[in-house]
Amino acid sequence: MIDSGSWAWGVIQGDFNEDPSIGQTIANTIITMIPVVDQAADIRDLTANLKVLIWDEEYDNYAAWTALTLTLIGIIPILGSLLKGICKAIRLGARRVSLKDLSPQHVQDLMGAVNKLDPDLKSRILWYP
């Protein structure tokens, strides 16, 4: 119960949570699709972003500016929140993936899967093996 409580608390924290999981980000995205909750979450996240930039004086913090930009996108009801959540999930996923873990076989497998979706893609990518 404590683990699920701390996970839920991470969702409630929004951008105040410095290390959210992808699951927490997705849950937050779904919750912020609800009108009124969306606006409250926008205020919460805007406050968190401005705290980092102004109070903590991290003016050169790229992640803080990115978070602020995503929050401003998220102000657009429903669609903005969805776009913000997708971008945050992609950013979190990219941050947690190490390029050292990718082998040439992984890249070929990925390109094979993409090729099934778009057979003409292979001819448009020069570096495809």
Rounded distance between C-alpha atoms, residue 79 and residue 91, angstroms: 18
Q: What is the pLDDT of residues 85-124, one digit of tens each?
A: 888 888 877 666 555 555 676 666 666 666 676 666 555 5
Total tally of structural domains belonging to the chain = 2
Kindly state whether residues 77 and 128 are assigned to the same domain. Answer: no
Give the residue with greater pLDDT, 47 vs 118: 47
Kindly state whether residues 122 and 88 are assigned to the same domain. Answer: no
Dihedral of CA atoms 48, 54, 58, 63 in degrees, nearest 10, equals: 40
Kindly state whether residues 52 and 15 are assigned to the same domain. Answer: yes
Kindly state whether residues 26 and 75 are assigned to the same domain. Answer: yes
Kindly state whether residues 38 and 59 are assigned to the same domain. Answer: yes
Kindly state whether residues 56 and 107 are assigned to the same domain. Answer: no
Kindly state whether residues 77 and 118 are assigned to the same domain. Answer: no
The distance of Cα 68 from the centroid of its chain, to the nearest Å, equals 12
Q: What percent of the chain has pLDDT over 70?
A: 71
Rounded distance between C-alpha atoms, residue 33 and residue 21, angstroms: 19
Parent domain of 37: 2-97
